[in-house]
Amino acid sequence: MTDASEKTADAANDKVGVVIVAAGRGARAGQADGPKQYQRIGGRAVIARTLETFLSHPKTGPVAVAIHADDRDLFRQAAGADADRVIAVIGGVSRQASVRLGLLALRDHAPGRVLVHDAVRPFVDAALIDRTIAAIGERQGSLPALPVADTLKRESAAGMIEETVPRTGLHAAQTPQGFPFWPLLAAHEKAHHLGKADFTDDAAIAEWAHIPVKIVAGSPDNIKLTWARDIAMADQRLSGERPRFPDIRTGNGYDVHAFEPGDHVTLCGVAIPHDKKLSGHSDADVGLHALTDALLATCGADDIGTHFPPSDPQWKGAASRIFVEHAAKLVRERGGRIANADITLICEAPRVGPHRAAMTATLSAMLGISPDRISIKATTNEKLGFVGREEGIAAIATASVVFPGDVPE
């Protein structure tokens, strides 16, 4: 080999390999836009920002990204042109398994050193990467970490404070964590073959494999996006937005229908046997009619009669869930998120209690919200008025909806 080719080979081996771990499901952050590594902050996917930092660093070389088998299209869409600059591998059932598969993908490139980084730490910077790389030795790893600032308490089995834990010498670990490549791969392979799968980061595997790890200064900006609020704060930070005032709106609805001869009433989407039925152009579900008006009120969309006039024959005998689902759709089209629905049914009979669970489940499906955000109550009118004389049923509904907030002046 010539001197020139030897220098080229040395330069290639001097490049630091990178494993980006991105195979998790990120359930704690919500799934509205997919796993958290694919959610957008400042107009770009989290993982795209992470990749850009490592691909642009002058000391990093081959980059392997461990992704979930279901995320191939998500990854390519998020990474864009950078998808062709990395080695995408299907990750394992745990973070540890994914790192091992990423290391194996780099084996043919034989980097002398390697960094392992969480895809959901998009605020890692070049200076932190430099510090981590500089501390990697032939048989030594490096770990960016921050001293623990909070007072730590150990909890007893009874949920009480058992003791205060001295925080001297305690650190919160970050990534990227750096290691000599071959010793780290050997440690992962040994753990895999022994069935040891409970390591939460690579520094823990290194400790188990007797690879010393040097602590370097971490960065308070290098946060891990774990919860939905972390994503929102990161987006706000990158978008340069000022905090928004929450726009929470409440709408009320009231409806009443008289009885007529029949064999059942429909209340909140559930048919209840009764010796009368409610009179109306549709199925006369007084609870759903009141709820429809409440939802429409939150976005200034007039009332149920405007959208479904009784004079229109197409609504004769119609199921009132059509009305509720239409109102909920209008709310969502305007950016609203239904937070709560509360319905009070006012009648002497029939009894509502035995049917409350079925009503709640039906409303949950209609509104697309969890049952704990729905309240259905019933009360009598103490034998007073038309309700007390069992001439009909009345209903009052309240809906709470959260709309995108306004930036304060």
Identify whether residues 266 and 232 lie together within a single domain: no
Question: Is the per-residue pLDDT at 9 higher than 90?
Answer: no
Do the domain assignments include residue 67?
yes
CA–CA gap between residue 295 and residue 345 (Å, rounded):
17
User: What integer pLDDT is reported at residue 235 of this predicted model?
Assistant: 87
DSSP state at residue 34? B
Question: Is the per-residue pLDDT at 310 higher than 90?
Answer: no
Q: Residue 404: pLDDT band by 50, 70, 90 thresholds?
A: confident
**H or E element at residue 48:** helix 46-55
Question: Is the per-residue pLDDT at 175 higher than 90?
Answer: yes
Do the domain assignments include residue 5?
no
Q: Residue 5: pLDDT band by 50, 70, 90 thresholds?
A: very low
Do the domain assignments include residue 400?
yes
Q: Residue 92: pLDDT band by 50, 70, 90 thresholds?
A: very high
Identify whether residues 129 and 187 lie together within a single domain: yes
Phi/psi at 329 (5° precision): -65, -45
The reply to whether 379 sits in an annotated binding site is yes
CA–CA gap between residue 339 and residue 399 (Å, rounded):
8
Q: Which of 208, 239, 270 is the last residue of a domain?
A: 239
CA–CA gap between residue 17 and residue 266 (Å, rounded):
65
SS3 for 71?
A: helix
The reply to whether 374 sits in an annotated binding site is no
Identify whether residues 293 and 205 lie together within a single domain: no
* Helix, strand, coil share (%) of the chain residues, nearest 5: 40, 30, 30
Q: Residue 153: pLDDT band by 50, 70, 90 thresholds?
A: very high
CATH number at residue 56: 3.90.550.10
The reply to whether 90 sits in an annotated binding site is no
Sequential DSSP letters for 214-269: EEEE--TT-----SHHHHHHHHHHHHTPPPPEEEEEEEEEEEEEEEEE-SEEEETT
User: What integer pLDDT is reported at residue 26 of this predicted model?
Assistant: 61
Average pLDDT rounded to a whole number, residues 244-268: 91
Find where tokens 């109550």 sit: 377
The reply to whether 57 sits in an annotated binding site is no
**Under 8 Å between Cβ of 50 and 121:** yes
Question: Is the per-residue pLDDT at 11 higher than 70?
Answer: no
CA–CA gap between residue 339 and residue 369 (Å, rounded):
8
Identify whether residues 24 and 98 lie together within a single domain: yes
User: What integer pLDDT is reported at residue 110 of this predicted model?
Assistant: 92
**Under 8 Å between Cβ of 74 and 143:** no
What would the pLDDT profile of 327-370 be if each residue is shown by its tens digit? 999 998 888 889 999 999 999 999 999 999 999 999 999 998 88
User: What integer pLDDT is reported at residue 131 of this predicted model?
Assistant: 96
The reply to whether 131 sits in an annotated binding site is no
**What's the domain count of the chain?**
2
Q: What is the CA radius of gyration of the chain?
A: 30
The reply to whether 380 sits in an annotated binding site is yes
Q: Residue 236: pLDDT band by 50, 70, 90 thresholds?
A: confident
The reply to whether 108 sits in an annotated binding site is no
Identify whether residues 283 and 325 lie together within a single domain: yes
Identify whether residues 165 and 254 lie together within a single domain: no
User: What integer pLDDT is reported at residue 35 of this predicted model?
Assistant: 87
CA–CA gap between residue 261 and residue 156 (Å, rounded):
64
pTM: 0.59
Average pLDDT rounded to a whole number, residues 259-282: 93
What would the pLDDT profile of 183-215 be if each residue is shown by its tens digit? 999 999 999 999 999 999 999 999 999 999 999
Do the domain assignments include residue 7?
no
Average pLDDT rounded to a whole number, residues 161-177: 94
Average pLDDT rounded to a whole number, residues 9-28: 74
List C-alpha distances in Å: 374 to 41, 231, 288, 292, 399: 32, 27, 13, 14, 9
| Domain that includes residue 126, residue range | 14-149+161-239
The counts of H helices and E strands in the chain are 13, 19
Sequence-ordered list of residues with C-beta below 8 angstroms from that of 231, at least 6 positions apart, any chain: 29, 30, 36, 39, 41, 46, 225
Q: Which of 239, 261, 281 is the last residue of a domain?
A: 239
The reply to whether 123 sits in an annotated binding site is no
Identify whether residues 202 and 257 lie together within a single domain: no
Identify whether residues 208 and 304 lie together within a single domain: no
CA–CA gap between residue 277 and residue 380 (Å, rounded):
18
Average pLDDT rounded to a whole number, residues 58-87: 94
Question: Is the per-residue pLDDT at 399 higher than 60?
Answer: yes
Q: Which of 187, 222, 239 is the last residue of a domain?
A: 239
| Of 397, 395, 398, 364, residue with least CA distance to 285 | 395
List C-alpha distances in Å: 356 to 95, 309, 359, 360, 382: 44, 29, 5, 6, 21
Do the domain assignments include residue 3?
no
Question: Is the per-residue pLDDT at 405 higher than 70?
Answer: no
CA–CA gap between residue 239 and residue 285 (Å, rounded):
46
Do the domain assignments include residue 295?
yes
Hey, what amino acid is at 349?
A
Question: Is the per-residue pLDDT at 374 higher than 50?
Answer: yes
The reply to whether 282 sits in an annotated binding site is yes
User: What integer pLDDT is reported at residue 369 of this predicted model?
Assistant: 87
**Under 8 Å between Cβ of 346 and 396:** yes
The reply to whether 283 sits in an annotated binding site is no
Average pLDDT rounded to a whole number, residues 265-270: 95
User: What integer pLDDT is reported at residue 28 of this predicted model?
Assistant: 47
SS3 for 41?
A: strand
Do the domain assignments include residue 91?
yes
DSSP-assigned beta bridge partners for residue 353: none
How deeply is 18 buried, as exposed, middle or buried, from its count of CB atoms within 10 A (0-12, 13-18, 19+)?
buried
Identify whether residues 221 and 297 lie together within a single domain: no
CATH number at residue 395: 3.30.1330.50
User: What integer pLDDT is reported at residue 29 of this predicted model?
Assistant: 45
The reply to whether 340 sits in an annotated binding site is no
Identify whether residues 335 and 377 lie together within a single domain: yes
Identify whether residues 351 and 262 lie together within a single domain: yes
User: What integer pLDDT is reported at residue 406 of this predicted model?
Assistant: 56
User: What integer pLDDT is reported at residue 241 of this predicted model?
Assistant: 55
Identify whether residues 112 and 229 lie together within a single domain: yes
Do the domain assignments include residue 334?
yes
Question: Is the per-residue pLDDT at 126 higher than 80?
Answer: yes
Look over the chain and give the mean of its residue pLDDT values, rounded to a whole number: 90
Question: Is the per-residue pLDDT at 407 higher than 60?
Answer: no
| Of 255, 252, 253, residue with least CA distance to 346 | 255
| Of 141, 65, 72, residue with least CA distance to 103 | 65
Question: Is the per-residue pLDDT at 409 higher than 50?
Answer: no
User: What integer pLDDT is reported at residue 403 of this predicted model?
Assistant: 84
